[in-house]
């Protein structure tokens, strides 16, 4: 009995730690939006030139006013084996109201230029969204 209660305690502690970690991740990302498939800046450019190019993309293509943007950066590392792959562009906006506006209250917003602007979700939220989409698909397939 002691072994079962000890392992249960370990599991609970692990879950609580993960919940705390997810909460911290959500807080860090609360003012972030993400744009997938945004073209990568020129490889030969310096880091500062790449950042300027990404900011110009946000302004000209996505039509996000530069006054709404705190900063932007690319997630992940460039993979030389995948020359066509574009890393996600993370844009930190000035406040949560702008995030709601640019993501249509978290539903995602397709710009005139064809790019989607979505909330930057932590891994747990992305997984939860994926699982709920899968469940909806299963229910729709059962009806048909």
In this prediction, residue 2 carries a pLDDT of 54
Q: How confident is the model at residue 3 (pLDDT cuts 50, 70, 90)?
A: low
In this prediction, residue 116 carries a pLDDT of 95
Give me the domain span that covers residue 42: 31-143
C-alpha dihedral sign at 89, 94, 100, 106: positive
Long-range (24+ apart) CB contacts under 8 A made by 126-131 are none
Shared domain for 20 and 49, answered yes or no, is no
Shared domain for 24 and 44, answered yes or no, is no
More confidently predicted of 116 and 13: 116
Q: How confident is the model at residue 120 (pLDDT cuts 50, 70, 90)?
A: very high
Decide if pLDDT at 76 tops 60: yes
- Please tell me the total count of domains within the chain: 2
Q: How confident is the model at residue 106 (pLDDT cuts 50, 70, 90)?
A: confident
Shared domain for 19 and 77, answered yes or no, is no
């Amino acid at each position: 009995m002691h072994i079962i209660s000890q392992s249960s305690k370990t599991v609970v502690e692990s879950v609580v730690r993960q919940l705390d970690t997810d909460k911290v991740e959500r807080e860090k990302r609360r003012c972030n939006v993400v744009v997938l498939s945004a073209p990568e800046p020129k490889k030969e450019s310096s880091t500062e030139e790449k950042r300027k190019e990404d900011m110009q993309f946000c302004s000209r293509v996505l039509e996000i006013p530069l006054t709404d943007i705190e900063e932007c950066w690319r997630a992940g590392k460039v993979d030389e084996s995948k020359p066509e792959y574009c890393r996600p562009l993370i844009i930190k906006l000035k406040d949560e109201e702008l995030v709601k506006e640019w993501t249509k209250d978290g539903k995602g917003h397709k710009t005139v230029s064809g790019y989607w602007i979505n909330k930057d979700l932590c891994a747990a939220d992305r997984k939860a969204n994926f699982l709920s989409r899968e469940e909806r698909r299963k229910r729709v397939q059962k009806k048909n």
